[in-house]
Amino acid sequence: MSENIGRIVGVNGNLLTVEFDSPVTQNEVGFATLGDLKLKSEVIRIRGQRAELQVFEDTTGLKVGDQVEFTGNLLAVELGPGLLTQIYDGLQNPLPALAEKCGFFLQRGTYLDSLDRQRKWAFTPSAKKGDTVQAGDKLGNVPEGIFEHRIMVPFSLHGKHTVEEVAAKGEYTLEDVVARLKGEHGEAVEVRMLQRWPVKFPIKAYAERLRPVEPLITKVRIVDTFFPVARGGTYCIPGPFGAGKTVLQQITSRYAEVDIVIIAACGERAGEVVETLREFPELTDPRTGKSLMERTLIICNTSSMPVAAREASVYTAVTIAEYYRQMGLNVLLLADSTSRWAQALREVSGRLEEIPGEEAFPAYLESVIAAFYERGGLVKLRDGSTGSVTIGGTVSPAGGNFEEPVTQSTLKVVGAFHGLSRERSDARRYPAIHPLESWSKYPSVVDDEDVRFARQGLRHGNEVGQMMKVVGEEGTSLDDFIVYLKAEYLDAVYLQQDAFNAVDAATPAARQQYVFGRLVKILRTKMSFDDKDAARKFFQALTQVTKDWNRAPMPGDGKTADAEGEKQFKDLEARIEKMVEEVTDYA
């Protein structure tokens, strides 16, 4: 191993102070030695002959005088075919393999290969001898589940290289040489399917960054219609505990129209990850007919796992996302919760006795968050294809108050804000995204004019609702009351969505366009009623039928809609139209 050995002079929680003699590098990995165990750590500050390291493990048992081996390498991930379907911890340890080796508990100091070294992959070359290539260019590909996994020139190579040799079509392991390149100064480079990349550096092997404009369909109506997300965009979901952040991300991870979903469970409950990792293999992805797991990768560093690895976990996740983006794929990274990672920074900053900022978060919190979301984006690769990384992060503000450093720093850099509200979740109005306070800078899947009109209606309805609290129903005109009922109706049948109903849970773009068009027509309809009770009764009935309509499969939905189901859809639609017609004021 390495020659560079330091010795521990202090232990404070997961922070070690280590005296060293030979040079060390900021952010390099060191291993603290505890008997037979080696505990992975990262250098986070250097002062004179002392380095401070955060340990990615429990530090119980370490002593002053114990050795630390510096590796000279930055914290990095392994990239190559076989990443998909994996369940890793924050340091890219494969958890199922770890379970096989260690049993029920996560034993510290056990590190396994992230990718299988024995497995062979069917390589098909695409580059030829004599080609000029640079970092990120395709040399060949292997099938990985439903994808063509590109084998690329290592991202770490600088400048142009000439292809000397490419392996013939055949079966190779990750460590077999599949190509030999020569650099401009004659240096020889061997390319394997496995490469490593330091997680804290963005991969930049592309031609240019583009502006994200294409909607990323999540099939959550309030999102796609009102607060859309774009491919290559970024968004955040702040909300108090229990408001529905995780459920919203779980739904998105199932139904979103993207190639690959990376779930970074960062400092949250283990149970939530278990739901995903036990259920996804059983679920079919309607787009491919294969198991959902085939497009999914889970990075899981839950709340009782070592705190320092939380920070690593989001970087591990985004690096893998960038890797697949380089293959021209659309990747969605869902991080739950970015606040836990910020808290990990805070814990370490406190132990380093740095001057604290607001709520004791470090002063550099904002720039760290900004740099993370900047790794999302839509890029044009050098072969002309495009790939994207979309990042959606939840935020867990202390006390549910958005005026806190993590939420505020995040809002400055993201393209859409899905703010969850306690009132809405208490009233079981799920998903509890606040329809008036949330925003998005990306284009909607439905007609802009209709969205503006509907939003106006919601706002107006809300004003009447507020007013009614002061002056009562009797002090409200029938016209205003109808405005209020219409807003409530739109809320109930469109903004709210039943995550547990097979049909309602996911509304494809075409259905959103169709249904929203119909609903806006209803909202635009002038209606007349004898009195408020009659109006309320009408809307209650209309709501019920419309909700039934939401649960009926739409023809051409991709859902298994038998003739019976399709008829139901049409019948209910007709019923709604008839009901509305009966109260229409043609005056």
Candidates 80-88, 98-106, 245-253, 507-515: pick the segment binding Mg ion (CB under 5 A).
Answer: 245-253
Near other proteins by CB under 8 A: residue from 99, 122, 168, 574: 99
Q: Residues near 481 by Cβ (< 8 Å), separated by ≥ 6?
A: 464, 468, 473, 532, 535
Q: Is the Cβ of residue 431 or residue 508 nearer to ligand ATP in the bound state?
A: 431
Residues 6+ apart with CB under 8 A from 318: 199, 264, 333, 372, 375, 389, 391
In the complex with other proteins, which residue's Cβ is closer, 165 or 480?
480
User: Which of 241, 364 has the CB closer to ligand ATP?
Assistant: 241
Q: Under rule CB under 6 A, which residues in 113-152 are in contact with ligand ATP?
A: none
Return the amino acid letter for 32: A
Q: Tell me the backbone φ, ψ of residue 395, rounded to 5 degrees.
A: -130, 135
Residue among 125, 212, 244, 376 that touches ligand ATP (CB under 6 A): 244
- The item of other proteins, ligand ATP, Mg ion, none sharing an interface with residue 267, based on CB under 5 to 8 Å by kind, is other proteins
Contact between 96 and other proteins per CB under 8 A: yes
Which of the choices ligand ATP, Mg ion, other proteins, none does residue 239 contact, using the CB cut-off of 5 to 8 A by kind?
ligand ATP
The one among 430, 516, 549, 569 contacting ligand ATP by CB under 6 A: 430
- Match 């990349």 to its residue by tokens: 197
9 binds, among ligand ATP, other proteins, Mg ion, none (CB under 5 to 8 A by kind): other proteins
- Residue 580 binding ligand ATP, by CB under 6 A: no
For other proteins, the binding residue among 551, 566, 568, 583 (CB under 8 A) is 551
Number of residues this chain uses to bind other proteins (CB under 8 A): 82
Contact 299, 317 (CB under 8 A): yes
Q: How far is the CB of 347 from Mg ion (least distance, A)?
A: 20
Number of residues binding to ligand ATP, judged by CB under 6 A: 13
Record the tokens describing residue 510, joined without a space. 């075409």
Smallest gap from residue 191 Cβ to other proteins (A):
33
Q: Binder to ligand ATP among 225, 246, 302, 512 (CB under 6 A)?
A: 246
- Compute the distance between CA of residue 321 and CA of residue 335 in angstroms, rounded to an integer: 12
Q: What is the 3-state secondary structure (H, E, C) of 344-394?
A: HHHHHHHHCCCCECHHHCECCHHHHHHHHHCCCEEEECCCCCEEEEEEEEE
- Whether residue 519 contacts residue 466, with contact meaning beta carbons closer than 8 Å, is answered with no
Q: Name the residue with tokens 């955040």.
A: 236
Q: Which of 245, 310, 340, 511 binds ligand ATP (CB under 6 A)?
A: 245
Could you say which residues in the range 264-303 bind ligand ATP, by CB under 6 A?
A: 268
Residue 245 or 375: the one with the smaller Cβ distance to Mg ion is: 245
Give the C-alpha distances (Å, rounded to integers) separating 556 from 340, 425, 514.
42, 32, 12
- With respect to ligand ATP, which residue has the nearer C-beta, 154 or 405? 405
Angle among Cα 572, 575, 580 to the nearest 5 degrees reads: 130
- Cα–Cα distance, 454 to 522 (Å, whole number): 11
Q: Is 10 helix (H, G, I), strand (E, B) or coil?
A: strand
Residue closer to other proteins, measured from CB, 95 or 317: 95
Identified binder of other proteins from the candidate list 179, 305, 420, 483, rule CB under 8 A: 305
Of 387, 377, 263, 232, the closest CA to residue 325 belongs to 387
Chain residue whose CB lies nearest Mg ion: 246
* Cα–Cα distance for residue pair 199/195, rounded to 1 Å: 12
Window 434 to 473, contacts with other proteins (CB under 8 A): 469-470, 472-473
Inter-residue contact 177 to 149 (CB < 8 Å)? no
Q: From CA 540, how far away is CA 551, in angstroms rounded?
A: 17
| Binding-site member from 72, 145, 242, 565 for other proteins (CB under 8 A) | 242
**Contact between 298 and 93 (Cβ < 8 Å):** no
Residue choice 14, 17, 218, 246 for contact with Mg ion (CB under 5 A): 246
Q: Please, which residue, 205 or 243, has the CB nearer to Mg ion?
A: 243
Shortest distance (Å) from residue 297 CB to ligand ATP: 20
Q: Which stretch binds Mg ion (CB under 5 A): 112-120, 232-240, 244-252, 282-290?
A: 244-252
In the list 119, 120, 290, 537, the residue contacting other proteins (rule: CB under 8 A) is: 537
Q: Which amino acid is at 170?
A: G
- Binding pattern for the stretch 42-81 against other proteins, x by CB under 8 A and - elsewhere: ----------------xxxxxxxx----------------
Residue 572 touches which of Mg ion, ligand ATP, other proteins, none (Cβ within 5-8 Å per kind): none
How does DSSP assign 398-452, residue by residue? Answer: GGG-S-SHHHHHHHTT-SEE--B-HHHHHTT-SS-B-TTT-EESSPPSS-HHHHH
- The correct pick among 392, 415, 431, 457 for binding ligand ATP (CB under 6 A) is 431
Q: Is 12 in the site for other proteins (CB under 8 A)?
A: yes
Q: Distance between CA 344 and CA 350 in Å, rounded?
A: 10
**The token pair that represents 504 in the structure block:** 């309602």
From Mg ion, other proteins, ligand ATP, none, which one binds at residue 10 (CB under 5 to 8 Å depending on kind)? other proteins
* Position of minimal CB gap to ligand ATP: 244
In this structure, how many other beta carbons lie within 10 angstroms of the beta carbon of residue 35? 8
Q: Which one of residues 5, 9, 413, 505 is an interface residue with other proteins (CB under 8 A)?
A: 9
Q: Is 582 in the site for other proteins (CB under 8 A)?
A: no
- Helix extents (H) in 129-174: none
CA distance 570 to 561: 12
Question: Binding to other proteins by residue 578, rule CB under 8 A?
Answer: no
Binds 196, which of Mg ion, other proteins, ligand ATP, none (CB < 5 to 8 A, cut-off by type)?
Answer: none
> Which tokens sit at 477?
């005109």
Contact of residue 479 among ligand ATP, other proteins, Mg ion, none (CB under 5-8 Å per partner type): none
DSSP H helices in 436-562:
448-471, 478-490, 509-524, 532-551
Longest Cα–Cα distance of the chain, Å, equals: 91
| From 13, 145, 242, 357, residue interacting with ligand ATP (rule: CB under 6 A) | 242
Residue ranges in contact with Mg ion by CB under 5 A? 245-246
Residue ranges in contact with ligand ATP by CB under 6 A? 239, 241-247, 268, 396, 430-431, 499
